[in-house]
Structure 1
Amino acid sequence: MGLRQFIIDAWGWLNYKPVYADPTTGDPNRRAFPGAFATWVPEEDTRRLAAYTVLAAYDGGQAGELAEVRDGADARERREYGDPAAFIDAITSDVLGDEQRIVVDGTEQDDTTTEDDEARAVQEDLLTWAEDEQFAMRMQQAERKAVGLGDAVYRLSWEPDKRRPVVRVVDPGFYFPVLSDDGEFPVRVHFAWELPADPRRGLKDRLRRITYELGPIRPATVTRTTDRGRAMRTFAGDQDDPLLVPGDTADEQGTIWRQYAWNDEPSAVTCYLTDATWLLEDLERHSDVDNLPMNKAAYARRGDGELLDGLDLLIDFVPVLHLPNSVPGAEEHWGKASLAAVLQVLDELAASDTDAARASATTGIPILSVSGLQDGRASLQVEPGVVFKLADGGRMDVVNTAPQLAQLLTTVETLRDRAAVNLRLPAVALGTHDPAQMPSGYALKISLGPLDKLVAAMRLARRHKYQLLLRFVQRLYIAGQHPDWVGRKVHSANLVFGAYTPTDRMGVLEEVATAYAARLISLETALRMLAEGGWPIEDVAVEIDRIQARAFDQAAALADATGDAQAVRDYLGMKPADPEKVPVPVLPGPADPNAPQTDAGQQR
């Protein structure tokens, strides 16, 4: 008898499920996860894809259907009342907060330098891009996948027709990165999925793969059609003397260099895009997603007719962003789903719900034991209004299952609370506890402590990723030669998440007002604290301009301290004075005979 393999990896928390880890081999069930065992899927991705399927089944209330593959038809009778989906929605909302703001470094400073003006312009353009691209909705899509599956993926591209970068959320099950040695940034990324057959259109089962790959810069290429009508990418110009992309230079060793607008030094690397489709029947058994027969591929075309076969995107980065739900382990790439630690509790909860549903049937329609019927029937159909005629000595007994049902419901609540505790979701955060029953606001704050630590850790895993995404957006604007971005540099930008717990606005206001009046914090810090405390401040820099435009007392103090009229106008947000307009002198009026006279006899 073979021994079960003891597997410890990023998805080891699923080994307890027989459908996921076979008792002898440790491999997922092939009938339950056929997509994970496709011939083109690398062996190291099998457990990851199967884990995504299990987590999606819990989220959709279909864990029983998945268990039916191994446990039989009885597994479909389990009750699933949406607790996993409720937990995922709650955690997603807490991580995102009540709002998300894009803040560019330098926009909240009380300065009027050219660099700060450019930072403010960049922030306004990023906010406009986020609104046009519906980035808030994209974030909801990505964050829910990250919380529910452990990973999410953004894919960015420059859209010439829209004149802006486009961001899309991709299911992590389609994401196959080829990681570099440090395991953090991939040098090649594949998005691959199967396309089902379409008999009406005469299409067979196919595999589509979109690939982004970093590589050495090559000479310029164009799309040409061969004599047989096949499109292919070839070098522009003569084969012996190919042309370079305008702006590229080649050194004596033949290395081609390119000066990107966001780099200080030239780079010899660019990103290539390939979009190809294969018939599944043409794939060889030893081929995986990273090693497919390119001679049997059919390449897609871009909107402008360019063949997507190693198309140079004129950027030196892969415009793909992997978003882990948690901080990955050392030298790891994948995140961990929020439900990973409580799946066994959710199984027990589903079992208790199933037992409670069965017990409620016997409580609503009780079991009767009747003896001594006059008609001598062996069984009865109990219905409202039925009268039983009993002979002498006859009796009727009722089996009361209400106590068992009450105990089962108590067990259900206990398991739900246990899952919430392990998820670090307090009852007050789930809305199942009345905050008014808290003895004080401090007690409420203490009860939210586990949630604070959970959200802080999850936002830490996301902070650098969203900084990178906003940097990619700026680079794509510059690479696309958008008129508003010509000559600009890439600025550091952050995505700031809002509050996720109820806040005492008046308490925050009192705290901020006291600290600002005592000159312990700046106006920028004060407004930022108010915004984080729930006050409706959309843009700190704009709010500062509005405040200063009416702060005449502070402007007068600035004039007395510096004597600089232009500094006062800048402080109030006024335009510079027109030097061509000379102030008109005001001459004194006629002397007043009743005015007091000085010793010199002059009117005061």
Structure 2
Amino acid sequence: MGLRALITDVWSWLDYKPAMADPRRPGRNAWAELTSSWVPDEDLRRLAAYRLLAAYDSNQAGQVAAVTGDDKDGTERRELGDPSKLVDTALGYLLGADQTITVAGAEHADDEPTAEATMALAVQDRLRAWAEKELLPLRVQQAERTAILLGDAVYTLAWDPTKGRVLLRTWDPGLFFPEWSEDGEHDGADFPLRVHLAWDIPEDERRGLKARLRRITYELAPIGPASRRGATKDGAAAREYLYTDTGEPILIPGDTLHPDTGAITRTYPWAPGKPTPWTCYLTDAEWELDDLNRGDILYDLPLHKATYRIRADGEVLDRLDLMADFLPVVHITNSIPTSGDHWGKPTIATVLQALDELSATDTDSSGASATTGSPIIGLAGARLPIDRATGQPLPVKVRAGTVWQLNDNGRMDALDTSAQLAELRARVDHLLDRIAANSRLTAAGLGTLDPTALPSGYALQLALGPLDSLVAAMRLARTHKYAVLLRMVQRLHQAGQAEGWPAGEALPARLMWGPHTPTDRAAVLDEVVKGVGAGVLSVETAVRMLIEAGYPIDDAQGEIERVQARAFDAAVRLADATGDNVAVRDYLGLPPVSPEVPGVPLSPMAAEGSP
């Protein structure tokens, strides 16, 4: 291979595999026969990388190596689930103990009940209720495991008028095809103007259906006239745009036509006073693969051969106006993309060759253990049983209680391979340590570190340092994407006119991750007690530290009020310092003293004037 044929891109770490050869050169790509003609050439390396990584996760890397010619004996390779363990371990550290949706300003709703804080708390409660109905923790775990394994994951959002809420769905990134501008001047943080979700549907002989291609397209485009369900000349479902008899476009209520430019603008609930000419169109169509030519690429399929799908409410999904000025698609990357790229890097990318070495060593260990457990024995001068029919010695097997008669000079030698087996096991340990270090999951994070080897908790923190930086980088790559997703959830509820969702710009919401490493709760509690007692920590900060350490505190403000209601020593000091009994009663959460002097009931004898 010369330098001109060397490819350096996001998936170059897989170039040592023959299956990742240049897809533009015929006969060099092992996946070419398995890939449909509609797939763009620039996506072949990405799809090949996804398939290889999925094979590692399912213990099929050896079978893939045998198919692609990388290893003829690949089907005999021992694969013991190490790649899957790395992925699941990284997933656990990324997600943490739990995930919580927070809205900026909602924490002040108790102590500062302003209109902004009250609205933030209401939106936060609605987002959390939506997350519970849509099983958000489950969806996040599905998508994030895919992102860690393949480097990318995809969410889509859709308004369901029947359920009255936004539906969240996760997708295989191998079905995701964003369409970028042709000038190539885009960054990893940019959003495309059109994205496709496409896949092959196999032939169904029972129903008489041929093999088809399904493509779902989200596209930002200028707002058009109102439309309704129609039909083509051959009776197929299509969308019909509405015009008056004079040729003027009929508008959706709320849209405005500008006669001077011919543009149609719309004001969305989340941007009052800011009309825009853009909207998002949804198209869901199918093509029979027999109708497609070799030159028909995903981005330019013949629309006259398309069959459009019909939604449950009867809407034809042919450029259906979603009444939103954004694409309800969120692409998650496992790592921070390099400048000019927009694809992520899997966690096991840099240690993939080490995983191959580990699998090969496990295979060799399996063979060595077989010869160690059932050793090869050489006999000399033994009287072996003879097959009477053939006159040949019968095969000799080593079994418990077997006795051989040897001549005077007879000898029995056993091949001892235990030393080689011990070396192979030591090599396995060496490779595991190398994988733990280079993946930054660390031996302590993978649970292979001997706890007695650490002299103190500080030494454990140093051992977990690379893991902390790895988790921080992974969460940084996702923070903005989940903020965008929660913003889309609010806007789609506004567009669907869901009850209780306030109009106006969506409030900033975030998905907060739980602690990814165990916390010494006793040490945190001792630190809090000493800090508050010495006056160097406030009660608010102390309660927040306890929450982060995992103590079961649901309401921080309520916990502070309960603590202060029993802090009589602090109340005494407050009274001595200020002399203000009103401030003391407010500190303890007691109601103010009534200004009226209560009457003292008299006994009957005192009321009659008795002495």
Is this a same-fold pair by TM over 0.5? yes
Which moves more between the two structures, 240-249 or 92-101? 240-249
Give 1:562 deviation, angstroms: 11
Counterparts of 1:549 and 1:82 in 2: how far apart (Å)? 55
Counterparts of 2:571 and 2:250 in 1: how far apart (Å)? 61
| Structure 1 partner of 2:21 | 21
| Structure 1 partner of 2:514 | 498
Counterparts of 1:520 and 1:188 in 2: how far apart (Å)? 54
Matches within 5 A, 1:178-189: 178-179=179-180, 181-183=185-187, 184-189=190-195
Give 1:259 deviation, angstroms: 1.0
Counterpart check, 1:46 vs 2:44 = yes
Change (3 A) 1:250 1:515: farther
Q: 2:244 aligns with which of 223, 228, 238?
A: 238
**Count of paired positions:** 585
Q: Secondary structure at the match of 1:391?
A: strand
| Structure 2 partner of 1:263 | 271
Q: Percent identity?
A: 50
| Structure 2 partner of 1:78 | 77
Counterparts of 1:3 and 1:182 in 2: how far apart (Å)? 27
Q: 1:290 aligns with which of 285, 291, 299?
A: 299
Q: Secondary structure at the match of 1:432?
A: coil
Q: Secondary structure at the match of 2:214?
A: strand
Q: Secondary structure at the match of 1:19?
A: helix
The 8 Å contact of residues 89 and 446 in structure 2, kept in 1 or not, is answered as: yes
**For each residue in 1:543-602, what CA deviation from the matched residue of structure 2 results, as whole angstroms up to 9, or x when unmatched?**
55766787799999799879699x959x9699x9xxxxx9987446569999xxxxxxxx
Q: 1:330 aligns with which of 339, 346, 369?
A: 339
Amino acid at match of 2:263: T
Change (3 A) 1:287 1:54: same
Counterparts of 1:205 and 1:356 in 2: how far apart (Å)? 46
| Structure 1 partner of 2:64 | 66
| Structure 2 partner of 1:99 | 98
Q: Secondary structure at the match of 1:222?
A: strand
Amino acid at match of 2:147: A
Amino acid at match of 2:159: W
Q: 1:248 aligns with which of 246, 255, 258?
A: 255
Amino acid at match of 1:107: A
Amino acid at match of 2:354: V
**For each residue in 1:310-342, what CA deviation from the matched residue of structure 2 results, as whole angstroms up to 9, or x when unmatched?**
000001110100000000001210000111101
| Structure 1 partner of 2:388 | none
Counterparts of 1:74 and 1:521 in 2: how far apart (Å)? 64
**For each residue in 1:375-398, what CA deviation from the matched residue of structure 2 results, as whole angstroms up to 9, or x when unmatched?**
484852222222101111111111
Counterparts of 2:541 and 2:604 in 1: how far apart (Å)? 55
Q: Secondary structure at the match of 1:371?
A: strand
The 8 Å contact of residues 353 and 412 in structure 1, kept in 2 or not, is answered as: yes
Change (3 A) 1:277 1:560: farther
**For each residue in 1:462-509, what CA deviation from the matched residue of structure 2 results, as whole angstroms up to 9, or x when unmatched?**
111111111111111111111111436411111111111111112212
Matches within 5 A, 1:323-362: 323-362=332-371
The 8 Å contact of residues 28 and 50 in structure 1, kept in 2 or not, is answered as: no
Q: CA RMSD in A?
A: 3.2
Give 1:2 deviation, angstroms: 7.7
Q: Secondary structure at the match of 2:112?
A: coil
Matches within 5 A, 1:589-600: none
Counterparts of 2:116 and 2:429 in 1: how far apart (Å)? 58
**For each residue in 1:143-197, what CA deviation from the matched residue of structure 2 results, as whole angstroms up to 9, or x when unmatched?**
1111110011111111112211111110000000013543321110100000000
Counterparts of 2:279 and 2:351 in 1: how far apart (Å)? 44
Question: TM-score, normalization: structure 2?
Answer: 0.88
Matches within 5 A, 1:495-534: 495-516=511-532, 520=536, 523-534=539-550
Give 1:538 deviation, angstroms: 4.1
Matches within 5 A, 1:157-168: 157-168=158-169
Counterparts of 2:493 and 2:321 in 1: how far apart (Å)? 17
Counterparts of 2:488 and 2:600 in 1: how far apart (Å)? 65
The 8 Å contact of residues 20 and 27 in structure 1, kept in 2 or not, is answered as: no
Counterpart check, 1:421 vs 2:425 = no
The 8 Å contact of residues 24 and 41 in structure 2, kept in 1 or not, is answered as: no
Q: Secondary structure at the match of 2:118?
A: helix
| Structure 2 partner of 1:129 | 130
Matches within 5 A, 1:352-501: 352-375=361-384, 377=393, 379-487=395-503, 489-501=505-517
Counterparts of 2:128 and 2:433 in 1: how far apart (Å)? 40
Counterparts of 2:535 and 2:498 in 1: how far apart (Å)? 43
Counterparts of 1:562 and 1:73 in 2: how far apart (Å)? 87
Amino acid at match of 1:168: R
Structure 2: which 5+ runs fail to align? Answer: 386-392, 607-611
Give 1:33 deviation, angstroms: 5.4
Change (3 A) 1:287 1:520: farther
The 8 Å contact of residues 210 and 274 in structure 1, kept in 2 or not, is answered as: yes
Amino acid at match of 1:171: D
Counterparts of 1:456 and 1:471 in 2: how far apart (Å)? 23
**For each residue in 1:263-320, what CA deviation from the matched residue of structure 2 results, as whole angstroms up to 9, or x when unmatched?**
1411111100000000011112222111100110000111210000000000111010
Give 1:428 deviation, angstroms: 1.9
| Structure 2 partner of 1:56 | 54
| Structure 2 partner of 1:579 | none
Amino acid at match of 2:43: D
Amino acid at match of 1:301: I
Which moves more between the two structures, 275-284 or 238-247? 238-247
Amino acid at match of 1:55: L
The 8 Å contact of residues 440 and 470 in structure 2, kept in 1 or not, is answered as: yes
Q: Secondary structure at the match of 1:245?
A: coil
Question: TM-score, normalization: structure 1?
Answer: 0.89
Change (3 A) 1:4 1:369: farther
Counterparts of 1:275 and 1:551 in 2: how far apart (Å)? 64
**For each residue in 1:497-522, what CA deviation from the matched residue of structure 2 results, as whole angstroms up to 9, or x when unmatched?**
11111111122123334444556555
Counterparts of 2:489 and 2:565 in 1: how far apart (Å)? 33
| Structure 1 partner of 2:609 | none
| Structure 1 partner of 2:390 | none
Counterpart check, 1:273 vs 2:273 = no
Counterpart check, 1:214 vs 2:233 = no
Counterparts of 1:15 and 1:371 in 2: how far apart (Å)? 53
Change (3 A) 1:475 1:425: same
The 8 Å contact of residues 14 and 21 in structure 1, kept in 2 or not, is answered as: no
The 8 Å contact of residues 19 and 29 in structure 2, kept in 1 or not, is answered as: no
Counterparts of 2:206 and 2:581 in 1: how far apart (Å)? 81
Counterpart check, 1:194 vs 2:195 = no
Change (3 A) 1:276 1:544: farther
Change (3 A) 1:210 1:539: farther
Q: Secondary structure at the match of 2:455?
A: coil
Counterparts of 1:522 and 1:142 in 2: how far apart (Å)? 39
Amino acid at match of 1:86: K
Counterparts of 1:9 and 1:133 in 2: how far apart (Å)? 37
Change (3 A) 1:105 1:415: same
